[in-house]
Amino acid sequence: MLQQRIFQILLACALLVLAGCTATGTTSADKRATIEQMHDQVLRDIYAVSPQARSHVSSSPGYAVFSNTQLKIFLVAAGGGFGVAKSGGRPTYMKMGKPVLVSGWG
């Protein structure tokens, strides 16, 4: 009974983490705008650290930028996030999630 209750609490925590891993906004347009802001900020940060990355990104057939979070509590883990992949200038918006019920100690 106690083990089941602990599992339920850990699962609830993992679900809360996953819920926080979505782009903010109520409409699809709002969520896409949030993802585009994250995309632009990540590229600015990368270009500031490595200016030659700009030519690599511009000459590549495509690239992706993601924001993700992972939570691991004992043997329960969960993760998720959002991002955008761009190929030929066309964006593809994505969500990701990763629930893990049994994980290693490491």
* Mean of the per-residue pLDDT values of the chain: 77
Instruction: With H, G, I as helix, E, B as strand and everything else as coil, classify residue 95.
Output: strand
pLDDT value for 91: 94
pLDDT, greater one: 48 or 23 = 48
Instruction: With H, G, I as helix, E, B as strand and everything else as coil, classify residue 92.
Output: strand
pLDDT value for 48: 94
Q: How many other C-beta atoms can be found within 10 angstroms of the C-beta atom of residue 66?
A: 16
Give the residue extent of every domain in the chain: 2-100
pLDDT value for 13: 47
Question: pLDDT, tens digit, for every residue of 35-44?
Answer: 999 999 999 9
pTM, full prediction: 0.65
